[in-house]
Amino acid sequence: MIINLRIWRQEGPDSPGKLVDYTVHEASEHMSFLELLDVLNEQLLADGDDPVEFDSDCREGICGSCGLMVAGIAHGPRKRTAVCQLHMRSFKDGDTITVEPFRAHAFPVIRDLVVDRSAFDRIIAAHGYVSVTTGSAPDANAIPIPKDVADEAMDYAACIGCGACVAACPNGSASLFTAAKIAHLAQLPQGQVEASQRVMAMVDQMDAEGFGDCSNYAECEAVCPKGISIDGIAGMRRAYMKGVLSG
Amino acid sequence: MTISASGLSHSSHLNAKVPAGRLQEKWDAYKNSVSLVSPANKRSHHILVVGSGLAGASAAATLAGLGYNVTCFCIQDSARRAHSIAAQGGINAAKNYPNDGDTVWRLFYDTIKGGDYRSREANVYRLAQVSNNIIDQAVAQGVPFAREYGGVLSNRSFGGAQVSRTFYARGQTGQQLLLGAYQALSHQIAAGRVTMLPRREMIDLVVDNGRTQGLITRNLITGELERYAGDAVLLCTGGYGNAYYLSTNAKNSNVTAAWRCYKRGAFFANPCYTQIHPTCIPVSGEYQSKLTLMSESLRNDGRVWVPKDPKDTRAPEIIPEDGRDYYLERRYPSFGNLVPRDVASRAAKKECDAGRGVGDTRLAVYLDFADSIRRLGEQTIRERYGNLFEMYERITGDNPYKTPMRIYPAVHYTMGGLWVDYELQSTVPGLFVLGEANFSDHGANRLGASALMQGLADGYFVIPYTLGAYLAGTRQSDQVPATNGAFAAVEDEAGTRIDRILNNDGDKSPIQFHRELGRLLWDHVGMARDRTGLESSIHAIENLREEFWERVRVPGTADRYNKNLEFAGRVADFIELGSLMARDALRREESCGGHFREEYQTPEGEAARNDEAFADVAAWEHTDGDPALHLEQLSFENVHLSKRSYK
């Protein structure tokens, strides 16, 4: 199949960017979208042009390295699918596809489609953990945890930290990402000890990084490759308000 | 060609420093007598941890928690993305929660046997001993392992084990354990005890005064070469499976850091031991950039088969029972579909070589869930493997609830790695190697759900003790600062190498070279090897190396984000490693675990080990000429070397 691409090219954080047109003549429906970009890059390299830079690592939808706006949608048109697992059978021969980086105030562009998502790490460092040092743990079965509780914690823990939620949000909010970690740990007895400090510290850090507020658009849930529910955001806001009021 | 015996020695370099005493008491004895570093002194020791996977993140978090001053580097944009995250199936521990007869001894024994008696008893026993602490630690961090309705942790049986000792978090166990370690690391970063430097690639090691002094990294955004001096370097950089180009490893997984250490004096042990995982999604075309593993937990409920008649190309659902050959159940009646990975992989290859492969490429076998769905219901299968089935469907477009999966083996894990002693220290003092990057615990074949166990054992529970032993014996005066000429010289070399790649007026991309290397290794140093193929591959790899430096072409400059430049440096190192893998495979004139030599097999086609001649670790030393071979003889005082049989 023939695929036309309009790809965002930008040399650095402060340089202006623009969309550039390319055509890949030898696409196949079995290729992943990133493999299509690989083929394009080999073509560019052979022609003496500069390949398109993008991040990717595991290419099986779990590391969260990749993230592109494909045809205006974070990770592309297929639901619950990271762009590395999006295959060309989702497109038609002759399609023109626009490819852009994940855009947000808090995700500056590094080059082309590569953005800086280190703000996410700082949100986790704010308190996205249980303060337990190595060696101090009781027996793993000492605290029984109901299966449905563990399952719900796992639903939120499945977040891959890709940033699609931020890119899809009209406000550039990191609420789904932040709430996912808060909800994961809040479900579990191990996480409840510090639940209140956790919410306050993580939400404050999210604000400090320049992410926007949540206005319940729910675009984040729609594009999340792991299908994380916005219910977590409601829980986060409730806990945050409780924290503010109890001062 | 013959391997030069010059330099062959049983030298003092290879003192494994295994403590004396009974196997069961060695680790306790070690801990009782090891030197401790006082809390006040810990702060003054700067530890450089390279890699933030299970081994690196757990080591960095633990050492920082103890009070050491830690700097941790990773090549991804975040510590959370290391390739440990992709492990699906689970983590073993000898908890014996199901009360099905498991013990530390049994986990030890299964690991030694699974490794085909090519690992060090004392290391493996320690691994089994600390396995239980890992589960405790992970649960305390909030890792949401699967649970039973009564609230206790759930266990399952996993490839090759006859007890249920595997803990899991859906099909995302690696992700959850890594996030646990990453969060522990984040806790220490917030406390100011760890400096985390993402998007840094270690490109060389600095050795001076006979010990590790630090390392050189390339900042992957600015391209700057950076110097870091430290008291010790912990290499936690994973395996070298991407030497084959196509593997289940992440695109950025590479051997460069380990290879640079090899070239600075660290011995590389057993590079020929590579694990080919039996259940991966088959290759679909030339553009294929990586292979995707389907967790082998699928073999608990899936049955592997091929059509009896190679000409039978009917849709699998309509091939009747008597037209199918469930070859694993037929050949291995007691283990059936659960035989270890190497056995299952070779069996698949054998069927495909005989023309019974399925699918367009005929390089695949069926993994069929129809029986389990009939027996347990689709809902149960969905609960167990839902995310794996979804992933399969996304990639292939087929629905495995309706039609059998097509699977084929792929390179997955490398048991070989830098040689380390009992303390996880390499042959370069002050350079420690943890996790998949070392060679130590899995022998010639790793059992399922043991990689996560080893990475975390090394990082959480072994290195905190053994690092202290080293630090207590060092003198501050032997250390040199990053401004020293030793650092400048290594940095210059690294810069020259990068310039050479960029200024080469070539015409081939790094990926083209990588694909060619991969094809050579897969064909000749893959699932089955023989002398002729290995010898020819050594020559071919040497030619490829020369061609690389004549023809490689990398666009752009060194002072920016430049993925092709990163790849080119890694491919150059993979090519050199490929040659050592072939040499090691050639030298090992036996079949064991993941290393199968066509010349050494039983009349039934099973691996024929040679314990008299090869119960050893082959550790290779870099020299200006051919690499020099050193041997560590393995002594088995506690287990009887039996023929591995899964019949």
Q: What is the pLDDT of residues A126-157, one digit of tens each?
A: 999 999 999 989 999 999 999 999 999 999 99
pLDDT over 70 (residue B18) = yes
pLDDT over 80 (residue B144) = yes
pLDDT over 70 (residue B555) = yes
**Number of helical (H) and strand (E) elements in chain A, helices listed first:** 9, 7
pLDDT over 90 (residue B476) = no
In chain A, the residue whose alpha carbon lies closest to the alpha carbon of B456 is A134
Beta bridge partners of B70: B47, B194
Provide the shortest C-alpha distance from residue B395 to chain A (in Å): 7
Nearest to B288 by CA among A37, A32, A41, A92: A32
pLDDT over 80 (residue B7) = no
* Stretch B138-162: mean pLDDT: 92
B642: which 2 tokens? 């039996």
Residues B85, A58: C-beta atoms closer than 8 Å = yes
Residues A116, B77: C-beta atoms closer than 8 Å = yes
Nearest to B249 by CA among B199, B202, B296, B290: B290
To the nearest 10 degrees (0 to 180), the angle between helices B510-524 and A33-46 is 120
Q: Which B positions 487-516 lie with beta carbon below 8 A of chain A?
A: 509, 511-512
Q: Which B positions 342-401 lie with beta carbon below 8 A of chain A?
A: 390-391, 394-395, 397
Residues from chain B contacting residue A51 (CB–CB below 8 Å)? 555-556, 563-564
Percentage above 90 pLDDT, chain A: 99
Q: Are residues B534 and B586 in contact, defined by beta-carbon separation less than 8 angstroms?
A: yes
Which one of B80, B126, B299, B341 is the catalytic residue?
B341
Q: What ipTM is given for this predicted complex?
A: 0.98
DSSP designation for B145? -
Q: What are phi and psi of A4, to 5 degrees?
A: -95, 135
Per-domain boundaries in chain B: 278-410, 493-633
Q: What are phi and psi of A233, to 5 degrees?
A: -65, -40
Question: Is any Cβ of chain A less than 8 angstroms from the Cβ of B283?
Answer: no
User: So what's the pLDDT on residue B6?
Assistant: 39
pLDDT over 50 (residue B25) = yes
* Matching CATH number, A117-246, of 1.10.1060.10, 1.10.579.10, 3.20.20.220, 1.10.240.10: 1.10.1060.10
Provide the shortest C-alpha distance from residue A247 to chain B (in Å): 23
In chain B, the residue whose alpha carbon lies closest to the alpha carbon of A156 is B144
The pairs formed by A33-37 with CB atoms below 8 angstroms and a separation of 24 or more are: A33/A68, A33/A70, A33/A76, A33/A83, A33/A84, A33/A86, A33/A87, A33/A88, A34/A59, A34/A66, A34/A83, A34/A84, A34/B289, A35/B287, A35/B288, A35/B289, A36/A3, A36/A5, A36/A88, A37/A99
Residues B287, A38: C-beta atoms closer than 8 Å = yes
pLDDT over 60 (residue B386) = yes
* C-alpha neighbours within 13 Å on the C-beta side of residue A20: 15
All CATH 3.10.20.30 domain ranges of chain A, comma separated, are 3-110
Nearest to B537 by CA among B278, B272, B269, B291: B272
User: So what's the pLDDT on residue B13?
Assistant: 57
Provide the shortest C-alpha distance from residue A144 to chain B (in Å): 4
pLDDT in tens, A72-120: 999 999 999 999 999 999 999 999 999 999 999 999 999 999 999 999 9
User: So what's the pLDDT on residue B296?
Assistant: 82
Residues from chain B contacting residue A137 (CB–CB below 8 Å)? 133, 136-137, 139-140
A191 band by pLDDT with thresholds 50, 70 and 90: very high
* Matching CATH number, A3-110, of 3.30.930.10, 3.10.20.30, 3.40.640.10, 2.20.25.90: 3.10.20.30
Question: Is any Cβ of chain A less than 8 angstroms from the Cβ of B85?
Answer: yes
User: So what's the pLDDT on residue B10?
Assistant: 44
Cβ-nearest to B153 among A131, A140, A187 = A140
Question: Is any Cβ of chain A less than 8 angstroms from the Cβ of B589?
Answer: no
Best of A62, A81, A184 to substitute, by most chain B Cβ atoms within 10 angstroms, is A62
Question: Is any Cβ of chain A less than 8 angstroms from the Cβ of B460?
Answer: yes
Provide the shortest C-alpha distance from residue A244 to chain B (in Å): 23
Q: Are residues A106 and A166 in contact, defined by beta-carbon separation less than 8 angstroms?
A: yes
Question: Is any Cβ of chain A less than 8 angstroms from the Cβ of B61?
Answer: yes
pLDDT over 80 (residue B647) = no
3-state secondary structure at position B22: coil
DSSP designation for B300? G
Q: In terms of CATH architecture, what is B278-410? A: Alpha-Beta Complex (3.90)
What is the average pLDDT value for chain B, to the nearest integer? 94
Q: In terms of CATH architecture, what is B493-633? A: Up-down Bundle (1.20)
* Stretch B53-65: mean pLDDT: 98
Residues B144, A121: C-beta atoms closer than 8 Å = no
Provide the shortest C-alpha distance from residue A245 to chain B (in Å): 26
pLDDT over 50 (residue B8) = no
* Stretch A17-32: mean pLDDT: 97
User: So what's the pLDDT on residue B99?
Assistant: 97
Cβ-nearest to B190 among A55, A110, A126 = A126
Name residue A240's amino acid. Answer: Y
* Least confident interval from B30-34, B264-268, B285-289, B458-462: B285-289
Residues B391, A80: C-beta atoms closer than 8 Å = no
Question: Is any Cβ of chain A less than 8 angstroms from the Cβ of B291?
Answer: no
Residues from chain A contacting residue B150 (CB–CB below 8 Å)? 144
Q: What are phi and psi of B339, to 5 degrees?
A: -60, 155
* Stretch B313-321: mean pLDDT: 95
Best of B74, B141, B390 to substitute, by most chain A Cβ atoms within 10 angstroms, is B141
Percentage above 70 pLDDT, chain B: 98
B515 is catalytic: no
* Least confident interval from A45-59, A220-234, B200-214, B595-609: B595-609
Residues A145, B189: C-beta atoms closer than 8 Å = no
Provide the shortest C-alpha distance from residue B144 to chain A (in Å): 6
Residues from chain A contacting residue B287 (CB–CB below 8 Å)? 28, 31, 35, 38-39
A214 Cβ contact list (under 8 Å, min separation 6): A169, A171, A173, A175, A233, A237
Query: What is the C-alpha separation between B593 and B580, in angstroms, rounded?
Result: 19
> Does the global pTM surpass 0.90?
yes
For residue A5, give Cα distances in angstroms to A16, A42, B84, B201: 19, 15, 33, 31
User: So what's the pLDDT on residue B160?
Assistant: 63
A245 Cβ contact list (under 8 Å, min separation 6): none
What is the layout of strands, in order, in the sheet containing B211-219?
B200-208, B211-219, B225-229
Q: Are residues B54 and B459 in contact, defined by beta-carbon separation less than 8 angstroms?
A: yes
User: So what's the pLDDT on residue B158?
Assistant: 81
Provide the shortest C-alpha distance from residue A234 to chain B (in Å): 21
Residues recorded for chain A: 247
Question: Is any Cβ of chain A less than 8 angstroms from the Cβ of B247?
Answer: no
Question: Is any Cβ of chain A less than 8 angstroms from the Cβ of B145?
Answer: yes
Residues from chain B contacting residue A58 (CB–CB below 8 Å)? 81, 83, 85-86, 250-251
User: So what's the pLDDT on residue B89?
Assistant: 83
What is the average pLDDT value for chain A, to the nearest integer? 97
All CATH 1.10.1060.10 domain ranges of chain A, comma separated, are 117-246
